[in-house]
A and B are shown apart, each in its own frame.
Chain A
Amino acid sequence: MMIEVLVCREDGTQVLEQKQVPDDYFTFRQEEAPSEESAAE
């Protein structure tokens, strides 16, 4: 899908761009860290 991205530079200039992103771009993913026991196995 296409989204709009506002690129801000440190000097204050800004540019609005179009960017193609995958459909899961807005999905939050977090994977649990393996426990020490799992790691030992």
Chain B
Amino acid sequence: MQQTSTYHLNQWEAEDRILRTDFNADNSKLESALQQGVTALNTAKAALEAALSQEQQARSAGDTSVRQDLSASITQLSNTSSAAISAEQTARTQQDAAIRREFAAADASVSAAASAANKLVKLADITTSAGAAQVDLSLGGIALASYSVLIIIPRLIASCDAIYVRANSNAYSVYEGSAGSSNCFDNIYPYSGGAYATCYLYAYGTSVACRIQSEGFRGKNAVSDVVHSRVLATNIIAPPALQTINFVTNDASAIAAGSRLIVYGVKL
């Protein structure tokens, strides 16, 4: 009887006898071969599982190491970047401060040059807060000797016929002019409730003089072309003794709140 080449299982021919023992022998060989195969498979499976576990552990350890390395790199890069940014910011701040100092110095220089070149200086711009029969412009804070002339522009709200312009509240006839003496430098004349004039005050040297050009009407007569100049002698009011210029209504009515006094000085 023929047998297979590997496991030697019986191969019956037509003339071979069929015996129980042959079948049992084949089944025993199959049982043994299957058992060996299963054992081999289990052994291989265990080996593969062990290898897989080992690989997983290795990869996990590798991942942790890579993460640590990456974190360290990021931290180092961050620290380096922060230090570089901080240094750059400090440098830029210092540069900005230096540039600002240069501009401030240049501005101060230009401002000083402009101030020196500009002879016309605005000294005051006052809006009155209360009504009164007399409004005084105090000159105590102005170095009169530094100016060739003060230009006083009163814009007074009043309904009287005239407003006297005086110095130091002096109401005597000591204001001398070519037209005669008066008890004021001159009048300015309200028109439609407002009195506008330009007063040129000279208060250096030996006398105090004031030239007034009033803009308005006296009755029906225009006075915009009337200009009077009068002077106070040194023995009356010397320039250093000049304290106030007074605007006084002719009827004791009030110069209303909201009136303005604007003062320019022309530097010597």
What string of 1s and 0s marks CB contacts (under 8 Å) between B39-50 and chain A?
Answer: 000000000000
- Do A26 and B128 contact each other (CB < 8 Å), given the known contacts A6-B134, A7-B244? no
Interface residues of B in 162-206 (CB under 8 A from A): 162, 164, 169, 171, 173, 177-184, 187
Across the interface, do B181 and A30 meet the contact criterion of CB distance under 8 Å? yes
Do A33 and B141 contact each other (CB < 8 Å), given the known contacts A7-B136, A10-B263, A16-B130? Answer: no
- State which size class the interface on B falls in: 35 or more
A40 to chain B: closest CB distance in Å?
17
Q: Name A2-41 residues within 8 Å CB distance of B.
A: 3-12, 14, 16, 19, 21-22, 24-33
A40 to B249, CA, bound (A): 38
Compute how far the CA of A19 lies from the CA of B134 in the bound complex, rounded to whole angstroms.
10
Q: Are A6 and B135 interface neighbours, CB within 8 A?
A: yes
Interface residues on A, range: 20 to 34
Which chain B residue shows the least CB distance to A1?
B252
B157 at the interface (CB under 8 A from A): no
Contact (Cβ within 8 A) A32 B180:
yes
Are A29 and B182 neighbours in the complex by a CB distance under 8 Å?
yes
Q: Which residue of A lies closest to B178 (CB)?
A: A33
Please tell me if the beta carbons of A29 and B128 are within 8 angstroms of each other in the complex: no
A16 / chain B contacts, CB cutoff of 8 Å:
130, 132
Mark each residue of chain B from 226 to 263: 1 if its CB lies under 8 Å from any CB of chain A, else 0: 00000000000000000010101111101100000101
Evaluate whether A12 and B134 lie within 8 angstroms (CB atoms) in the complex, with A22-B171, A30-B179, A33-B179 already known.
Answer: no
Determine how close the nearest CB of chain B comes to the CB of A25; give it in whole angstroms.
5
Q: Which 10 A-B pairs have the closest CB atoms?
A: A6-B132, A10-B124, A33-B180, A4-B132, A5-B134, A30-B182, A3-B133, A9-B138, A29-B183, A7-B136
Q: Which residues of B contact A (CB under 8 A)?
A: 123-126, 128-142, 162, 164, 169, 171, 173, 177-184, 187, 244, 246, 248-252, 254-255, 261, 263
